[in-house]
């Protein structure tokens, strides 16, 4: 155990976060996301599991260490509701609150169609699966500079 590091962040996740550079992307997802399949296409090449933890809790912990990119319009992406591009799910507002609080500013979040989200996720550095039951708990965070 280390001081100042949230215990929800396991060693593998901390290692991946430290390997990431400016502009690299990190996916945080729920248990419904095809994370294992898509993780094989990422830079890290394998799935990082954070069992027993929901999206809100993990995002709070990650964003204490992980600055969002200020050089892009929308440093966070989420999946659109299938069949309703303007549809809202409760997790969207929850995560927006977590992100804005961590950054101490309003942060733009871009909505991507389901399959476009999967393709963008494949370009990410790593995918982290939580135990969150979802649905639509799929977010991509673009790393900024410290």
- Over residues 23-38, the pLDDT tens digits come to 999 999 999 999 999 9
Q: What does pTM read for this prediction?
A: 0.97
The model's pLDDT over 50-60, given as tens digits with 9 standing for 90+, comes to 999 999 999 99
10-17 contact pairs (CB < 8 A, 24+): 10/48, 10/50, 12/48, 13/48, 13/50, 13/62, 13/128, 14/65, 16/44, 16/48, 16/125, 16/126, 16/128, 17/62, 17/65, 17/66
Residue 1 pLDDT greater than 80, yes or no: no
pLDDT in the model for residue 2: 77
Q: What is the pLDDT of residues 66-86, one digit of tens each?
A: 999 999 999 999 999 999 999
Catalytic center residues: 22, 69, 118
For 109-136, how does the pLDDT look when each residue is reduced to its tens digit (9 = 90+)? 999 999 999 999 999 999 999 999 999 9
Distances (CA, A) of 49 to 25, 64, 87, 88: 17, 19, 28, 26
> All domains of the chain, ordered by start, with CATH?
43-142 (3.40.1650.10)
Give the pLDDT band of residue 146 (cuts 50, 70, 90): confident
Q: Average per-residue pLDDT in the chain?
A: 97
State what percent of residues in the chain have pLDDT above 90.
97
């Amino acid at each position: 155990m280390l001081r100042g590091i949230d215990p929800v962040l396991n060693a593998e996740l901390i290692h991946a976060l430290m390997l990431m550079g400016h502009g690299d992307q990190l996916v945080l997802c729920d248990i419904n996301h095809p994370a294992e399949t898509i993780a094989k296409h990422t830079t890290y090449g394998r799935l990082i599991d954070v069992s027993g933890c929901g999206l809100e809790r993990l995002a709070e912990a990650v964003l204490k260490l992980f600055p969002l990119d200020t050089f892009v319009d929308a440093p966070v992406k989420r999946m659109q509701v299938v069949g309703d591009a303007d549809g809202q799910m409760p997790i969207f507002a929850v995560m927006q609150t977590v992100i804005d609080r961590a950054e101490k500013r309003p942060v733009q979040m871009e909505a991507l169609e389901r399959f476009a989200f999967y393709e963008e996720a494949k370009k990410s550095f790593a995918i982290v699966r939580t135990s969150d039951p979802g649905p639509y708990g799929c977010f991509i965070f673009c790393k900024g500079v410290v």
